[in-house]
Amino acid sequence: MSHPAYLTAAFYKFVDLPDYAERKVPLLAFCERRSVKGMILLAREGINSTIAGMPDDVHAVLAYLRADPLLADLQHKESYSKKAPFYRMKVRLKKEIVTLQVPGISPTKMAGTYVKPEDWNALISDPDVVLVDTRNDYEVELGTFAGAIDPGIKSFAQLPAWVAQSERLGRSGKKTKVAMFCTGGIRCEKSTAYMREQGYDEVYHLEGGILKYLETIPPEDSLWRGECFVFDERVSVGHGLHPGQHRLCRACRVPLAENATESAWYERGVSCPRCYETTSEAQKASARERQKQWEFAKSKGISHIGQTQNVNTLGGRSAPAPERTGVHKLTSPAS
């Protein structure tokens, strides 16, 4: 069976990388030589990425990374698309590859118990298990597991505050069984490490995240409801990782809510009901001009990338990046 042209690979690994800053330049150069696009985040605590390109080129980048003994067992998830998911290649240095803003949390030392997708249904069907979706509110809107709690957070860094206030998690010796999940596994590795640091004894997380579950579990056996938001131009995927039906607001880079395009606050490439009140008229004018340039380039059949919109220009959100805290940045890292 032939696949569409573009291969997307999502991967992450928590591993001590004391020389992470020195890795940036040679890694970026190698990706550019192979015409691979996407985002790679490097931090002392590890690597987090989503990249895309021709299959041979993506596999070459993965082989380059795995040639390092510290990354030899790097795992990745694959999906294919007809269109290029990314338009640039960026390697960024970060304090954390997924931002929780709680010092001392180390998934390499104290993450929760991994649960394979094949065993996940049995775990979350246990009435004694509290199931927590660790993703942001706009992600949960698109889909989640049946019976999961939505903390209603805007960014991953807000999760600890929610944990401290939640009545559902219990406080009696912290004996509550807690199961946590996220898009690709990275956020729940860190969140379960945080839960263990807080004294919770039985903490579990979905190995490989929602994406591995949707790839592995057939629809007829699934407890997943809806679609899964992804940090690239596919916007969302369903079972088998087939692209979903959702679209992004090109201003705030968040999925458009149902009937959003019918709102008076919706203007293509400029605003949607979520972000209209968070941007100034000057920012809207800038976005409007950029949209005109994009439409003109499209009419001429040429590529127009333009300047990446970011948190300073669009009311607190930037374009998607790896699965991370919540505010996204390009479209890459594993979630």
pLDDT digits (tens, 9 = 90+) for 199-245: 998 999 999 999 999 999 999 999 999 999 987 778 888 998 888 88
The answer to whether 98 and 316 have CB atoms below 8 angstroms apart is no
Closest-CA residue to 8 (of 236, 320, 187, 232):
232
Same domain, 128 and 189: yes
**The last residue of a domain, from among 93, 120, 147:** 93
Angle at 252 between CA 152 and CA 262, to 5 degrees: 90
CA–CA separation, 137 vs 135, rounded Å?
7
In a domain, 100, yes or no: no
CATH number at residue 19: 3.30.70.100
Mean pLDDT within 294-301: 77
Same domain, 146 and 162: yes
pLDDT for residue 317 is more than 60: no
What is residue 335's predicted lDDT score, i.e. its pLDDT? 62
Containing structural domain, residue 57: 6-93
For helices 117-124 and 209-216, the axis angle rounded to 10 degrees is: 100
Question: What is the domain count for the chain?
Answer: 3
**The last residue of a domain, from among 68, 93, 118:** 93
In a domain, 335, yes or no: no
In a domain, 99, yes or no: no
Same domain, 237 and 218: no
Active-site residue 182, yes or no?
Answer: yes
Most confident of 201-205, 252-256, 320-324, 329-333: 201-205
CA–CA separation, 94 vs 36, rounded Å?
21
Of the candidates 182, 188, 252, 275, the residue annotated as catalytic is 182
| Torsion region of 77: left, alpha or beta (phi above 0 gives left; psi -120 to 50 gives alpha) | beta
CA–CA separation, 209 vs 187, rounded Å?
9
What is residue 313's predicted lDDT score, i.e. its pLDDT? 29
Same domain, 130 and 34: no
In a domain, 307, yes or no: no
Percentage, residues of the chain above pLDDT 90: 62
Percentage, residues of the chain above pLDDT 70: 88
CATH number at residue 128: 3.40.250.10
pLDDT for residue 279 is more than 70: yes
Same domain, 266 and 163: no
CA–CA separation, 186 vs 184, rounded Å?
6
In a domain, 322, yes or no: no
Same domain, 209 and 245: no
**The last residue of a domain, from among 226, 260, 283:** 226
Same domain, 113 and 79: no
In a domain, 310, yes or no: no
